[in-house]
Amino acid sequence: MSLIVTGSIGIDTIETPAGRRDNVIGGSSIYFAYAASFFTAVRLVGAVGDDCPPEVFDIFRDRPVDTAGLEVRKGSRTFRWHGSYLSDINQAQTLKVDLNVLAERAPAIPPQFRDSRYVFLANTHPLLQQQLLAEFPRCDLAVADTMNLWIQNEPQELRRLLGRIHGLVLNDAEARMLTDRTNLIQAAREVLKMGPRFVVIKKGEHGCLMCSADDLFVLPAFPAEQVVDPTGAGDSFAGGMMGHLAAAGGYSPAELRRALAYGTIIASFTISDFSLGGLLRLTRQEIDDRWRQFAAALQF
C-alpha cells in the first residue's frame, strides 16, 4: 500500500555523552522515511530552504523513497535544531530552535501523491495536520504524532484531528498530559474515547504499549547497551511501524503487534549512532536478525 509521510526536514546540532555533531541531517520525516523504506516504498513531503545542501538528499538515492514532494523554497531557510542529551540521555534539551521554513505555508502535495492510502502525519500544528490529511481522500490508515505544545495550546484543534485519524502515536508524558491520567493504560483508553482506533504510547528506554478496543500489547525496548544519540528514535519507530503496516496492507491486532516490534528494532539501530548513521549502514537482513534476537530475549 502507498505510504506517505509529511513532516519536518532539519539540520541538527546534537550533543550527547558520546560526542557532538554539527549541522547533520535530521527531522521527523527524514528518520521516518528512511526507517519505513526497509519495508515498503515511501513518499516524502516536506520543505527546506535554499540553504540546505542538496547532497543531503543523496541519502535516499538507493532507497525506495520518492522525494517528489520535497520542496526547496527560494529565499527561505531550513529548520534548525540544536539539542543536548548531556544531562539526561532519555530526554532532549532544546538549546536553540529556528523554525524557519516550518513557520511558513505547508509544502504542496504533488498530484501523484494524492492517492496515498497509508498516511503518517508527523508532529506539527494539529490544524495543519488536518489540512494535510484532507489532501488524501483515499486514505485507509491515518496515523498522527503530536507533542506537549499542541496538547497545551491547541486542545480544540487536536481534538478535531483525533476525530479524523485511525491511530495516534505519542510519548508517555504526552499521553498523561492529554488525558490527565497517570496510569498509562487508563490514559490509552481515554485516548481511544477521543476517536482513534488505536494508540501507541512510546516510553523511550522502557519500550511501548499499544491499546485498541480489542487488544492491549506491551513491549520492552530492545536491550541496548550503547545509546549514542536518541534523536529520531521515535520517528524511526513510527517509520518501521507504518512501513510494516503498509507492506502488510492492514492493521489487525496481530499486524499492529508485529509493526510495533519492527518499530522497536529500527529505533534500536537509530540510537546506535549520531543522526542517520545507524540507519545508513543497515540492511533488511540485520533487521530480521535482530527481530529474532529480540523475540528470543522475551521468551519465558
List residues near its own copies by CB under 8 A.
89, 182-186, 189, 203, 205-207, 209, 216-221, 223-227, 257-258, 260-261, 295, 297-300
Q: How far is CA 248 from CA 2, 44, 181, 259, 295, in A?
A: 11, 20, 33, 9, 19
Q: How far apart are CA 80 and CA 242, in angstroms?
A: 26
The CB-of-89 to its own copies minimum distance in angstroms stands at: 6
Q: How far apart are CA 93 and CA 116, in angstroms?
A: 35
Cβ atoms of 78 and 8 closer than 8 Å? no
The CB-of-280 to its own copies minimum distance in angstroms stands at: 24
Complex with its own copies: residue 121 or 265, whichever CB lies closer: 265
Q: How far is CA 270 from CA 2, 144, 266, 287, in A?
A: 24, 20, 6, 12
Cβ atoms of 182 and 169 closer than 8 Å? no
Q: How far apart are CA 47 and CA 144, in angstroms?
A: 19
The CB-of-92 to its own copies minimum distance in angstroms stands at: 15
Complex with its own copies: residue 11 or 228, whichever CB lies closer: 228
Complex with its own copies: residue 182 or 283, whichever CB lies closer: 182
The alpha carbon dihedral of 235, 177, 144, 284 has a sign of: positive
The CB-of-44 to its own copies minimum distance in angstroms stands at: 28
The CB-of-223 to its own copies minimum distance in angstroms stands at: 5
Complex with its own copies: residue 49 or 204, whichever CB lies closer: 204
Complex with its own copies: residue 53 or 223, whichever CB lies closer: 223
